[in-house]
A and B are shown apart, each in its own frame.
Chain A
């Protein structure tokens, strides 16, 4: 059986892409989902705050996912759950495996990659010390708590002010744990401001900026304490600033990394800045007919933007299957001052209807500031911002007329107003 589109991943990105491809004319569509049900990580994100842009109301994660899952009946989209994608070949064959169907190789005319991301671990940030039980990524602890119904500990320290860590500070406090502190190595918080307010401040949980965990101790196999030190401008611990925390649990919320094993297996180019595939204006990767969207491309702050981006990918996959390859000259996007990446990295102006949406992140906090767009050192556009922070995704619209003026490359930079 040859599918017009195979979507890898049935989280918010994959669901939106599949539905959008269906709405744009494709009929033979399959979603490959590794979990028992669709919805992805949203199923464990039971807190509210999703969907304000998309549905103009505040939903919890499962509710947001549920609205997309509800769109599947009545379409011809096939959802393969409990199925793992193992490999994607250059000729667009998707190898996958499941207990029910066994080992299957599906052929596809187009593919959307929507595998999401994973959490950075203790090993990735190199915290020294003992190796006890009781050190969890915030997401793993969230799954135990919200899906399985278990608390991973009673006295909790949180490293990293990413949103999942902040959300878990509130969840564990409400469930009866004592959250001692949240510790952030950067001089600013990496999560949304409102999560600092409603997850830490509401419960008087202190936030230590410019601090990190420098030692982990164990007693009888379980975490028995952590040392926290202040760090200097180079993020190196300052001797003499150590504080001891008597905790049985350390949650890590120290960043997310797009999960691109399958992307690599297909030989698709990965951008070192995002850890996701390099994509065009329509979310097409460097491999013709293979698209990517959601956290597999770059880590988003809001699922609403994931949905919008994924619909773009689904629509583009439909256009590819029905009308053939997108073509035209290609503009390369570069990150200028204080911008850590842009998505897309490539824009084909001929393939842009009205405007190209560009997402990016800044690498420090900005108050009143400007986003400047240059082409070959010529300023071609400027956007005002009241506030920008690394924890929040920024976006600008580049009108088609502007793109037509650009000469081969565009640089996005940020500066104080």
Chain B
């Protein structure tokens, strides 16, 4: 039995995941929590937010995030991938910066119109 704090919403439910019983989750208050509990044991993932360089705007950094959670152990690799990106203003919220980043199936997207 593994105990976890659910991170899918601000409520922070205290989950119990039973690895021996098909990752049965208790303590959750919504289906998303059950899914998180299961995944957190078998394939933990995180949404990563960061910035990339941008030119032509009054600011020098543009905020970005992964469009969906990526494997937790790839967070730093993703950060390295963002190091070499430079955007040019104008960019729109939702615009894809890197498609299928590191083969994760997730895109890196812009989160602010700049």
Contact = CB atoms under 8 A, between A and B. Distances in A.
Contacts of B93: 62-63, 66
A194 B7 contact: yes
Given A52-B9, A192-B12, A194-B10, A62 B47 contact: no
A46 B58 contact: no
Interface residues of B, number: 30
Contacts of B51: 46, 145-146, 149
Interface string B21-54: 0000000000000000000000000111111010
Interface of B: 4-10, 12, 14, 46-51, 53, 58-61, 63, 65, 72, 75-76, 79, 93, 111-113
Contacts of A59: 111
B53 A149 contact: yes
Contacts of A49: 10
B63 A146 contact: yes
Size range of the chain A interface in the assembly: 35 or more
Contact of B46 (A147, A198, A301): A198
Nearest to B52: A149
Interface of A: 36, 43, 46-49, 52, 58-63, 66, 69, 145-149, 171, 174-176, 192-194, 196-198, 201-202, 301-302, 392
A330 to B, nearest CB: 33
Given A62-B63, A174-B79, A175-B79, A198 B49 contact: no
A43 B59 CA distance: 12
Given A145-B51, A174-B76, A201-B5, 15 more contacts: A46-B49, A46-B63, A47-B49, A52-B9, A59-B111, A62-B63, A62-B111, A146-B51, A147-B59, A149-B53, A174-B79, A175-B50, A196-B5, A197-B12, A198-B46
